[in-house]
Structure 1
Amino acid sequence: MARGVRRLRTTAVVGVVLAVACTLVAVAGPAGAAHRPAPRSLRTTSADQSSLSVRWHWVRKAPGYRVRWSLHRSMAGSRRLATRQHHAQITGLAANTRYFVQVAVAARGGRGRLLSSWSHRLVRRTPPVPCPTVGDLGDPTPAVATGKSTDLRVASFNIRTMNLDSPDHPEQRWRARAGRVASLLLGAATTRSAAAVPPDVIALQEANQSYAKFATLCTNQMIDLRNRLNASGRHYEATSLAPSASVGTRILFDTARLRLETSGSILLASPSTTHPHLAWAIFQDREGGQRFFFGSVHLVPPEKPDSNTVRSAEWDQLIAHLSDPSLTQGLPVVLAGDFNSPRGGARGANLAAQIHLPQMVTAGFGDTLIGKDQDPSDPNLLVSTARALTTANAQCASFNGFRVLQTCDDQTDPATEKIAQDIDYVFATNALVVKSWELVLDLDPLKNWLGTIPSDHNLVRTTITLPPV
């Protein structure tokens, strides 16, 4: 009897164990189904502003995959998709946004329960929306000719590239001096200059085009300057916002005063040359209807043994292009920039200006400072003989190298002051009247810069009369 009871108990225990085992199998499904390895090597294969394509190593006998993505490392608030493939495209994303992505094996083609742990987190940022290449150019309606002359206010400023910012000279960093650059361009009064009307058009040199130097999207040194100018209520825009258009050689213009018809850039030397472009534009004056050709240029600096030869060749190219009516349309020409060559060839063999200044006059567009019949190599040229009807600080050098003490030939009798050895020039068609030429300086009585030195070059501005049409 006891032996029969023991058999019944043993049978009952075995039955319970088998029942539990069957229940577990029913819940868990086929053996090993809940223990698939997590997908490996999760990576992106492409990305745009609104989507990411991801791929991973397939898992043997995986019935499907679940992909999830989130803005948070914890994967809180994640969104999900299912796929039978070992790749997927995630859509509906925001541009320039960081996302965390994971994938796991899941039943029913990825729509069922998870059959593995989640993979490692993939972290990717979607690209930003492409920066605009064309800004707000103002009203495109052509102006009506009034038959009256108008004054064109021109500025030329090498604002020194941000690439040369150094912690050793914090006062020379762009952010330390950008406000001063903008205020002087806008015509702020100085110890040597009365307040002036802001320029209609600005030739810029070394206006760095890198977006990486600013936290604000689509901002570079040129756009930062434009924004600072426009904070005053003006309406400046660049002829092109494309960083590759003419690199740091740029043109800003007041869209309320000028209408841009067309613009472009021309290589004057090998692309590997520093500052090899002529940036050009054809504008129409909105007040008088006059059309004119404008250029900004920056010839190669003295950085290599062949720089003098390259600079001279660039100037040859420049004259050839400005003499081509298919480019200038036979319009009055105004050209401004940093030519890296002093009038008298004072830097050893750097004779580019001495040679080409007379050639510019012969080609039809002379310097707005010295007279067309004057010898640029003459070290005794007097300010009183200048082409411009009025001048200010023409006896001072346009390049300052961030030196506090400026080079000026100040004389007790202004009539004896000599024109300085500039490297920054403004040229204009010979027939145009140059009403004024000015080098903008803010100096104490000892000729020391007051406050922040805006750049290693001084601002040049001129007023040129456009004849009636």
Structure 2
Amino acid sequence: MTYATPSGLTSSAQSSTSLTYKWNAVAGAPKYRIQISPNADMSGASFYRFSSNTGEIRSLKPNTKYYAKVRVITLDGGNLSPYSSAVAAKTLAAPVLSAITNGLSVASYNVKCDNCFDGLPNELTWSGRRDAVVSTIVSKVPDVVGVQEASQGWLKNETRPGGLSQFEDLQERLYKRGINYQLTNAKRNNCVNDVTPTNCVYADRGASQGTKILYNKGTVDLVSQGSVALPKLSAGDNTRYLAWSVLRQRSTGKSFFFGDTQLDSSKASGYYELRKAQTSAIVSAIARLNTGKLPVITVGDFNSHKWTDPSNAPYDVMVGAGYVDPLGNTYKNDAPSAFATAELRIRANYDSYNGFERKARARNTTGNGTYLDYIFTSKMRVGKWETVINIDSAGNFIGTIPSDHNMIHAVVQLP
């Protein structure tokens, strides 16, 4: 069976690194292929498949004219129509930006809970890897870092009265490295006696289990803080939280809203929908709590990525609410979208989850890796994004692997 040649091909949107095309749909067409080249004779062309009559071509050169054609194809790539005539479109010139001044350094880091030891190759217990976690954070000295799985449970072999939680241990060790990191909320449990959950009489203490925010008291001031419990599927599920704070950057006097979360990780039936509901609850909570309409930075382990089926629901909810992923790491695509805001990308091709594998996971050499962990922002400049890993020239971790997740770090400029 043959199909009509698609008509009406045009470039409907342009950026410095991408061109978006649309064309008239062909009735019954299974799929389409776009052929694109910087040369009018179509030499050196690249090819892209699309399921509908629109598509974005990424990773193009700025200020460059490209020629494109479209045809109908089968689901597995067989030709069903001739190519259309070529149309020309030009990418925009790369923007010239001034250097960011008074940058705000932020990070997200799942440090893996002390009592979650799996005995994986290269995995050490918390006592064996905590100094590596501290060194990773100190290497970037973020003004604010949201951590996940820094458990409120007492560490084993800790003899001081009242015990010591994992997040308290982390804060103390950071402080001993000469940086005055403080917890926005140091409560362990939402109980009248927050030190232990035993015989708990409920009281909202702003506790958020292992989801904690640490801030550098030398560079930012704490204005307010709290936590919001997120929906869960059954009473026996571990409660997930949005830990939140309003902070003020000392160098500019500007305030901002910072959120930190870890969504449920279960792959069982109903939990895809739960993660979507939990993210919707986060969006609603920020809208309710951010009464001053401050710039927003939300970080965390969303336990969903661009290859999750049927979709990366938490990502879609955040972007749908107007928040920006600086990497433009959209569904089933490694190339940054036209909406990516990171001006400098460092090791963004590495995955945020490493599984304690000695060889650091990377999907590609230049695009975006696979991320469970995110830094979402409201509209603001993002001068730098980095996946923070200590690796050798062969891509192997050097020394102790700090956690099964890599820290992600960004430098932003508050509007």
- With the length of structure 1 as denominator, give the TM-score of the two structures: 0.59
Per the alignment, residue 241 of structure 1 pairs with 186
Per the alignment, residue 193 of structure 1 pairs with none
Per the alignment, residue 73 of structure 2 pairs with none
Deviation at 1:359, TM superposition (A): 3.9
**Structure possessing the higher radius of gyration over alpha carbons:** 1
Deviation at 1:446, TM superposition (A): 2.7
Q: Aligned partner of 1:293: which letter?
A: F
Per the alignment, residue 389 of structure 2 pairs with 441
- In the alignment, structure 1 residue 178 sits paired with structure 2 residue 130: yes
Deviation at 1:151, TM superposition (A): 1.3
* Equivalent pair of 2:123/2:356 in contact (CA under 8 Å): no
- In the alignment, structure 1 residue 268 sits paired with structure 2 residue 213: no
* Equivalent pair of 1:444/1:450 in contact (CA under 8 Å): yes
Gaps of 5+ in 1: 1-147, 188-195, 412-416
- In the alignment, structure 1 residue 420 sits paired with structure 2 residue 369: yes
Task: Indicate the SS of the match to 1:313.
Answer: helix
Q: Distance in 2 between matches of 1:388 and 1:403?
A: 27
* Equivalent pair of 2:221/2:247 in contact (CA under 8 Å): yes
Per the alignment, residue 335 of structure 2 pairs with 381
Deviation at 1:329, TM superposition (A): 2.6
* Equivalent pair of 2:103/2:413 in contact (CA under 8 Å): yes
Distance 1:229 1:312, change over 3 A: same
Q: Distance in 1 between matches of 2:136 and 2:184?
A: 21
- In the alignment, structure 1 residue 367 sits paired with structure 2 residue 336: no
Per the alignment, residue 64 of structure 1 pairs with none
Per the alignment, residue 218 of structure 2 pairs with 256
Per the alignment, residue 170 of structure 2 pairs with 225
CA deviation digits over 1:173-204, x for unaligned, max 9? 001100000001001xxxxxxxx4x0111100
Distance 1:168 1:205, change over 3 A: closer
CA deviation digits over 1:400-420, x for unaligned, max 9? 111112221444xxxxx2211
Deviation at 1:427, TM superposition (A): 0.7
Distance 1:174 1:425, change over 3 A: same
Q: Distance in 2 between matches of 1:409 and 1:168?
A: 22
Task: Indicate the SS of the match to 1:283.
Answer: strand
Which one of the candidate residues 296, 299, 302 is aligned to 2:260? 296
Per the alignment, residue 284 of structure 2 pairs with 320
* Equivalent pair of 2:363/2:370 in contact (CA under 8 Å): no
Deviation at 1:292, TM superposition (A): 0.6
Per the alignment, residue 136 of structure 1 pairs with none
Q: Distance in 2 between matches of 1:418 and 1:275?
A: 35
Deviation at 1:328, TM superposition (A): 4.6
Q: Aligned partner of 2:308: which letter?
A: R
CA deviation digits over 1:355-403, x for unaligned, max 9? 4434423423211221xxx7x1142414998421101111110001111
- In the alignment, structure 1 residue 395 sits paired with structure 2 residue 349: yes
Q: How does 1:38-187 map to 2 (within 5 A)?
A: 150-165=102-117, 171-187=123-139
CA deviation digits over 1:22-74, x for unaligned, max 9? xxxxxxxxxxxxxxxxxxxxxxxxxxxxxxxxxxxxxxxxxxxxxxxxxxxxx
Q: Aligned partner of 1:453: which letter?
A: I
Gaps of 5+ in 2: 1-99, 190-206
CA RMSD of aligned residues (A): 2.3
Per the alignment, residue 207 of structure 1 pairs with 150
Per the alignment, residue 310 of structure 1 pairs with 274
Q: Distance in 1 between matches of 2:321 and 2:367?
A: 26
CA deviation digits over 1:205-255, x for unaligned, max 9? 000111253223442111111111111211011111111210011101111
Q: Distance in 2 between matches of 1:312 and 1:328?
A: 24
Distance 1:204 1:360, change over 3 A: same
- In the alignment, structure 1 residue 460 sits paired with structure 2 residue 408: yes
Which one of the candidate residues 315, 329, 338 is aligned to 1:357? 315
Q: Distance in 1 between matches of 2:300 and 2:326?
A: 12
Q: Distance in 1 between matches of 2:251 and 2:400?
A: 36
Task: Indicate the SS of the match to 1:186.
Answer: helix
* Equivalent pair of 1:275/1:298 in contact (CA under 8 Å): no
Per the alignment, residue 216 of structure 1 pairs with 160
Greater helix fraction, Structure 1 or Structure 2: 1
* Equivalent pair of 1:393/1:439 in contact (CA under 8 Å): yes
